Structure 1
Amino acid sequence: MVTITYRNANINLDEQVYDPAEDSYLLADVAIDNAKEGMKVLEVGAGTGFVSAVLQENVDVDLIATEISPIAATCARASGVEVIRTDMFTCFKHGTMFDLILFNPPYLPTSEDEKVPGWLNYAFDGGPDGRDAVNRFIDEVPEYLNNNGMVLILISSLTGIEQVKERMKACGFKVETCDSDNCFFEELIVVKGTFRESEL
């Protein structure tokens, strides 16, 4: 394993796990800006654990993460992140609630012949329009959010930013853009959704 350091956090990397890139750094920075001390935080699909490790090093939160890949889960644990190996929310009982939920989804539009073998495909493959995992997350996440709880989702312009925002609004979220970054062929943004049960 190779170790990198960002904002005082040491993160272990594995060649079989998606390395932190612009999207990871952007989400970690926004998470630090929005998290408050004592919050109960969940990161879905933690990968290397980069975002969670950076957040818990900089803000005193009660954090847990989920990750489907056994290789990535091991990598995140090596960076000091408590990880449950599961598919998105499937490990949680009804009534398990969080104040802040983070998600850097697989958002690349991916056809069948573009898939890569093994667990690494879960880090990239967003389905034909890039929104397979994003849509599932948006539909399921309200069940695990406290009233006025927040989600921070990393979205690419390749994924259809407006479509994602509209789906979030339809699920009861007040939606705003926190920050963005222009990369080679896409714009990355972090969308913040604040959940209010009364808006459903």
Structure 2
Amino acid sequence: MRIVILDNVYSPAEDSWQTAELLSWIVGNYVSNEEPRVIDVGSGTGVLALTALLSAMNKGRVAWIIAIDHDRSAAINTRINLANNGLYQYADVVSMNVLDAIRGGVRIDVIVSNPPYLPGSWDEDWRIFGGPDGNNVTRQLITHACGGNALLIVLTQSSLSNWEETTKLLRDCNYRLVMIKASHYFFEDIITMVFLKVNH
């Protein structure tokens, strides 16, 4: 995977690679559709979109990807990295807020996101801070996702941003936590969770 990082775009870090690891396993081993449909929310450099595509291709399949970022520079960065890896034709890159333009009822296999999750003001750094509690973006995503029909949701959060609330909100709209990975870095745990739609 060849990655170019533009100025002001979140550089892939431990949380990105942890999310990519679980996403790769999910797309490669769990999703049964021949053409997995994946939405990457907050695509940044496009690492997660690329991971989904490469994981599907390693199994002899082709994935259908929508990569979303509200920041134009990030959307451009995602496009550049898809093109540099010869995968641009397999993805649509959209600049919009969370899942605003995705129609409800469309079949989606996986929604994946490593959103800004640290408690703090967007005005300070919107790439890492997710509002006063750290989970404002995550709540927006869950609100949209619960109105849709995704089979799996892969989300990364910090132990500082009330990940337990995320599990409750998703449980309330019929998603069950089926996999979790946590890694400790400095002052926090990075937690990546996989949720499965019950009675999909």
Normalized against structure 1, the TM-score is what?
A: 0.84
Kindly report the root-mean-square deviation, in angstroms, between the aligned alpha carbons of the 2 structures: 1.8
Name the structure 2 match of 1:30.
22
Name the structure 2 match of 1:6.
none
Contact 2:107–2:149, Cα closer than 8 Å, also in 1: yes
Matches of 2:39 and 2:126 in 1, distance apart?
A: 19
Matches of 2:110 and 2:79 in 1, distance apart?
A: 20
Instruction: Confirm or deny that 1:142 pairs with 2:146.
Output: yes
Contact 1:100–1:145, Cα closer than 8 Å, also in 2: no
In the alignment of these two chains, the number of paired residues is 182
Matches of 1:38 and 1:57 in 2, distance apart?
A: 13
Structure 1, unaligned stretches of length 5 or more? 1-8
Normalized against structure 2, the TM-score is what?
A: 0.84
Name the structure 1 match of 2:86.
none
Matches of 2:133 and 2:103 in 1, distance apart?
A: 30
Name the structure 2 match of 1:129.
133
Contact 2:116–2:130, Cα closer than 8 Å, also in 1: yes
Name the structure 1 match of 2:161.
159
Matches of 2:74 and 2:114 in 1, distance apart?
A: 14
Deviation at 1:89, TM superposition (A): 1.1
- How far does the alpha carbon of each residue in 1:107-164 deviate from its partner, in whole angstroms, 9 at most, with x for none? 010147xx32xxxx33222111111111111121023324xx0000001101112122
Matches of 1:95 and 1:75 in 2, distance apart?
A: 29
Structure 2, unaligned stretches of length 5 or more? 58-62, 83-90
Deviant stretches of 4+, over 4 Å: none
